[in-house]
Structure 1
Amino acid sequence: MASRYTLRMELPQSWTIIDVFTGQPAVIRQKVMVGMGPREAEDMVVQMNVRDVKRRERAERKS
């Protein structure tokens, strides 16, 4: 299953989490995931991808 989220470096030490399905910055709880430090961004993108895989697996089982 393809990862939905990836990182893009905007400036040194400034990262954006991108939704690869839309090409836009990800939005979580009404916060746009831009201008993040590298460690925070990497941790967040891993968590977001794990949650997305679980969500898609549940949806597949229902159909």
Structure 2
Amino acid sequence: MWAGGAWRGELFWKSIGKRVAHRNLWIAVPALLVAFVVRQVWSVTWWFYARRGAEAPS
């Protein structure tokens, strides 16, 4: 964050940035975990469909 022509990153981090970063992590990490699990389950499901000779859903 620029204030008066000088970088004030430390001030921004202490006032707003740290709280925002922690909130984003609490949202992003579980969302990425769920996305990874869904992708893994879907890939195994698709493999079983293909193995049985059925038309794999798209």
Bigger relative CO (Cα 8 Å, ≥ 6 apart): 1
TM-score, with length taken from structure 2: 0.47
TM-score, with length taken from structure 1: 0.44
From the two aligned structures, give the one with the greater strand fraction.
Answer: 1
Q: Is the radius of gyration larger for structure 1 or structure 2?
A: 2
